[in-house]
Chains A and B, each alone.
Chain A
């Protein structure tokens, strides 16, 4: 790693901080100059969030949202990866299943809300189900593709050492496909986080999505609406950064454009 390849340490923080400051300044000025009575300024948002923290509500909303994402997402991972590997491995199976997957995949999880409520009633499980749906299809599709993209050379090398098909799948195909699968998992997590907010607006009465819709409905508290929006953004960013750390781990690092 050479010095000129990397921005200086201060630069890595300076520019993002500057950009955020400029954004906040622009927001503040826009509110002041337009003289809006509805849209809150950054200060009002901070004050609103502080109020929520004080009441102990915010913490529970965040935990509820994260919990729903976690359960739905891990269910999608636990089911999606084995199925995706299987479909990718047995192309005959994939030919049968693929049309169905391709039809279901473009349907926004939000369109599933009525169905989710019929199946699970208004409550946690409906929201979790939506997260699951949102994450499941991208995971399956990337797994199928990444298995198909494993170079023939690795499969041949593996079979040359006398591996049985299940061993070949677990010891060669899966690790070879893993970097690409991780990209799909990261995208799926992002989608899960998007979907939980939508689900919470309709199906449950807690979480950041509920906070947004509830703040609007009960007293037009737009400071809380915007505050919850920003929180959703920040938490989403943190989830993504967390996931990127996995991508730098050594057994998968070769599949990403990191300099070693």
Chain B
């Protein structure tokens, strides 16, 4: 495992190559003759191997932005470039992880994880599946169907399915939103472990401030209707993060007040 704990405190993004860039991206939905601006002038740059959280209240367009970056939606204005190429369609080099609802219920754990490995030989595929089953700790459940698994296990299957095709970028849309709080904590640290091992670029959508501050190199705070980038906060704390450290609390409270919430309920 690379010892990136020290490097993390440096202003990492500056030295990183740009992986992904959005230029003046805007999105207007029209429904029943009315048009609604969902995203306005989104300019975002994400470095190679960076972990970026998109944070905002529900309805701020963060999921829409992620879907656009993944190639599922076409922005009505502006352009999205990954590795310098304009994004037009979804691509196996960049995998979108939904909440655990994206797991295919008609396939076993093995079948799901091997779903994107059609081009490999049988032996290679089996070996790859095996590797990722171990990585997400699902040994013994290879032949199980998703409806026989808990929510957290299904989420692992989906993460493993994404990792198995060896993408450069992972998009995660509130991946742990449906899990109980204990499982969510476990999944967060596992995601960090996997990220540190595999060095993917990660774009992670959440409405949970703590989640964002625990995970991200940078937190992109978005405001609602139309969705705009309000502020980008750099989280300069090394992993593993002490979530009771003064710096952590300072960053979290800073974001809280940025969103306009007092931090005493």
Contact = CB atoms under 8 A, between A and B. Distances in A.
Nearest to A162: B92
Given A161-B165, A162-B91, A254-B147, A178 B98 contact: no
A175 B116 CA distance: 16
A156 B106 contact: no
A220 B165 CA distance: 72
B106 A260 contact: no
Given A156-B72, A160-B70, A253-B145, A176 B102 contact: no
B165 to A, nearest CB: 7
B107 A161 contact: no
A252 B104 contact: no
Name the interface size band of chain B.
Answer: 20 to 34
Contacts, number: 57
A160 B104 CA distance: 13
B116 A254 contact: no
Nearest to A251: B106
Nearest to A252: B106
Contacts of B148: 260
Contact of B106 (A153, A160, A254): A254
Contacts of A37: none
B101 interface: yes
Contacts of A157: 96, 98, 102, 104
A59 interface: no
B11 interface: no
B240 interface: no
Contact of B146 (A153, A154, A156, A254): A254
B257 to A, nearest CB: 35
Interface string B65-91: 000001010000000000000000111
Nearest to B97: A157
Interface string B214-240: 000000000000000000000000000
A161 B92 contact: yes
Nearest to A175: B106
Contacts of A159: 89-90
Nearest to A157: B102
Contact of A254 (B89, B94, B101, B105): B105
B105 to A, nearest CB: 4
Contact of B104 (A154, A162, A253, A260): A154
A126 B177 CA distance: 58
19 contacts: A151-B101, A153-B101, A156-B102, A157-B96, A159-B89, A160-B90, A160-B91, A160-B92, A160-B95, A160-B96, A161-B95, A161-B115, A161-B165, A162-B92, A172-B104, A176-B106, A253-B147, A254-B106, A254-B147
Given A156-B90, A161-B95, 7 more contacts: A153-B102, A154-B104, A156-B98, A160-B92, A162-B90, A254-B147, A260-B147
Interface of B: 70, 72, 89-92, 94-96, 98, 101-102, 104-107, 115-116, 145-148, 165
Q: Which 8 A-B pairs have the closest CB atoms?
A: A161-B116, A254-B105, A175-B106, A162-B92, A160-B90, A254-B147, A251-B106, A157-B102
